[in-house]
Structure 1
Amino acid sequence: MGRPRTALIDRQRITTEALRQVDGTGGFSVPEIARRLGVRTGSIYHHVDGREGIVELLRERVCEAIDASMLGTLPWDEALPAWARSYRAAFAAHPRVIPLLLASPVRAPRVLAQYEAVVGVLLGAGFRVGEVMRVIVALENVVLGAALEGAGPEGMWELGEEGGRVPGLVRALEAEPEGRAEAAFELALGACVRGFRELLLP
């Protein structure tokens, strides 16, 4: 028999299967990827640079959903929140991938290019170069925390018999409006922008 006209695997299929496993269990197994794709484990390594290569493919796949079109076209204090909202939505769709990505350095060229665009926005707005990465990391802490929080159960506090000992918490929870996660994210995002703005003061 000759070679099949369509390759059994490629980087796209490997990424899709790895992400399916991460979404389901929080991790992935190269042998399991191979089994699911109907190939030998060694065949996977013809397409990716080991396990770290698959992690970077996952990073690229999730980050493809981030809209960065506003960077460089809107004022910084409008562009950053818009980018952050899209960033959060992309990772909220796959929250279990976050711990994997945080444990691995960013190497994917397309993702690095997006960071370069954010750096350009901040430098263009007048932020000191020594403050730029602090601003980006602070914003990412809010974004990724919000993505993880949104994946949790709506009722994070189960007071039970302890309700009588924490009356303030009971009142706060009872007064809480719908859409807590979204409202909390917007509150944190607004606080970030106000704090960042202070860095621009002479």
Structure 2
Amino acid sequence: MGRPRKALLDRRRIGRTALELVDETGDFTVPEVARRLGVQTASVYHHVDGRAGVIELLREQVVDELDAGTLDERPWDVALEAWARSYRAAFAAHPRSISMLMTSPVRAPRVIDQYERVAGLLLDAGFAPEAVMPIITGLDNIVLGSALDMSAPEVMWVVGGEAEAPRLAAAQAATGPARADQAFDLTLAGFLDHCRGLLVRDRTAAATDGREAGGPRS
């Protein structure tokens, strides 16, 4: 038998096609994915569990563009900053996917694995367990908000006509063309500084608890 003219349907092709549709229109439907792939809708459902399953394949496509190797760097704050910058670049390439992915629970194993590594990085550094998810969520908010900002118009505040705001206009003019990058750098630096303060607090609390648990020495 000759080779088929089209590659066999697989999960990666489904995810890639859904991401292409979202990049183009901001959304997708499973029938649209099937039409673009040249297959029946039922064939797509054979590989995924409905729309939610396609969203997770789409999520994997975006996250595969991250450099997970940054999480091997040390110390923890160097690794976290490098990962955040790679994370931002990956989502800045697909800004229309952000609202969809932010409102859908994360289930994709390859994505969960990266967050597991981030959690391990923070716990190994000495952060208290109850601090880990707020840090991860806060970093998500910074990165994804900035990725959206990168797709926004460079001039976001249109001053003139009935809107008299000379100081805002002067500040905007002085900023130059890298407003989104400067804002991200500022916010990420402040976030990491705050996390370093949390780590000092958590380490101090752990040391105090350890001394109290040991009791007085005779």
TM-score if structure 2 supplies the norm length? 0.87
Q: Which amino acid aligns with 2:143?
A: V
Distance in 1, Cα, partners of 2:7 & 2:17? 15
Distance in 1, Cα, partners of 2:123 & 2:12? 35
Aligned to 2:162: 162
Q: After alignment, is 10-19 or 55-64 more displaced?
A: 10-19
Distance in 1, Cα, partners of 2:2 & 2:50? 28
Structure ID, larger Rg: 2
Count of aligned positions: 201
Distance in 2, Cα, partners of 1:70 & 1:20? 27
Given the alignment of the two structures, is residue 12 of structure 1 paired with residue 12 of structure 2, yes or no? yes
Distance in 2, Cα, partners of 1:16 & 1:136? 26
Deviations 1:26-68, CA, capped at 9 Å, x for gaps? 1001111111222111111011111000000011110001112
Aligned to 2:64: 64
Q: Name stretches of at least 5 consecutive residues in structure 1 with no aligned partner.
A: none
Distance in 1, Cα, partners of 2:2 & 2:195? 61
Q: Determine what percentage of the aligned residue pairs are the same residue.
A: 57
Aligned to 2:171: 172
Distance in 2, Cα, partners of 1:175 & 1:11? 48
The 8 Å contact of residues 154 and 177 in structure 2, kept in 1 or not, is answered as no
Q: Which amino acid aligns with 2:180?
A: A
Given the alignment of the two structures, is residue 199 of structure 1 paired with residue 201 of structure 2, yes or no? no
Distance in 1, Cα, partners of 2:12 & 2:185? 34
Distance in 2, Cα, partners of 1:33 & 1:68? 28
The 8 Å contact of residues 126 and 200 in structure 1, kept in 2 or not, is answered as yes
1:75, CA displacement in angstroms? 0.3
Aligned to 2:184: 185
Aligned to 2:140: 140
Q: Name stretches of at least 5 consecutive residues in structure 2 with no aligned partner.
A: 205-218
1:73, CA displacement in angstroms? 3.1
Aligned to 2:85: 85
